[in-house]
C-alpha cells in the first residue's frame, strides 16, 4: 500500500478542501456515500447467513476506498474532467473512510478495547 501512494504521488490539496464550507460539506457527503454505496450491500448480501450484529463489522470494513479514489481523481484532474476542490473532497472522504470505518468495525467485533489500559503501579 505505501508503494502505491509513493508511485501515484498522493496529494491532498488541503487549501482546496477547506476553502469554503461547501467544500467541507462535499467531503462529508462523500464520506457518507462511501458507507451507503459500499457498506449497505454487505448486510443485505449476508442477511441469511450471518446474524445482524455480525454483518455490521464487515460492512464497515468494506467501505474503505482510498487507492481507487486516488487513482480516479489523479486521472480526472490531470485531464481537466474534475475540479481540484471536488478531487480534494473525494480524497478527504476516502481518507476518513479508511481511518474511521475499520476502527468502528473492529470495535463492533470486540477486537479493540474501548476502555483505557490499566496503569501499572
Q: How many domains does the chain have?
A: 1
Q: Is residue 110 left, alpha or beta, with left meaning phi > 0 and alpha meaning psi from -120 to 50?
A: left
Q: What is the pLDDT along the chain (121 residues), one digit of tens a residue?
A: 455 555 555 566 677 778 888 888 999 999 999 999 999 998 888 888 888 778 888 899 888 878 888 888 888 988 999 998 888 899 889 988 988 998 888 888 776 665 555 565 5
pTM for the structure as a whole: 0.75
Residue 47 CA to residue 33 CA, distance in Å, equals: 21
**CA-atom Rg of the chain in angstroms:** 17
Q: Is residue 95 in some structural domain? A: yes
Q: Is residue 11 in some structural domain? A: no
Residue in the structure block whose three cell numbers are 490499566: 118
Domain extent for 64: 19-109
Amino acid at each position: 500500500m505505501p508503494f502505491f501512494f509513493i508511485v501515484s504521488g498522493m496529494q491532498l490539496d488541503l487549501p482546496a478542501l477547506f476553502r469554503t464550507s461547501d467544500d467541507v460539506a462535499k467531503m462529508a457527503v462523500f464520506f457518507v456515500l462511501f458507507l451507503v454505496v459500499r457498506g449497505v450491500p454487505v448486510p443485505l448480501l449476508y442477511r441469511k447467513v450471518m446474524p445482524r450484529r455480525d454483518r455490521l463489522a464487515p460492512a464497515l470494513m468494506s467501505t474503505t476506498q482510498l487507492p481507487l479514489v486516488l487513482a480516479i481523481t489523479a486521472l480526472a484532474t490531470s485531464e481537466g474532467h474534475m475540479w481540484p476542490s471536488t478531487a480534494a473532497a473525494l480524497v478527504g472522504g476516502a481518507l476518513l473512510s479508511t481511518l474511521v470505518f475499520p476502527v468502528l468495525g473492529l470495535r463492533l467485533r470486540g477486537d479493540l478495547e474501548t476502555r483505557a489500559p490499566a496503569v501499572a503501579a
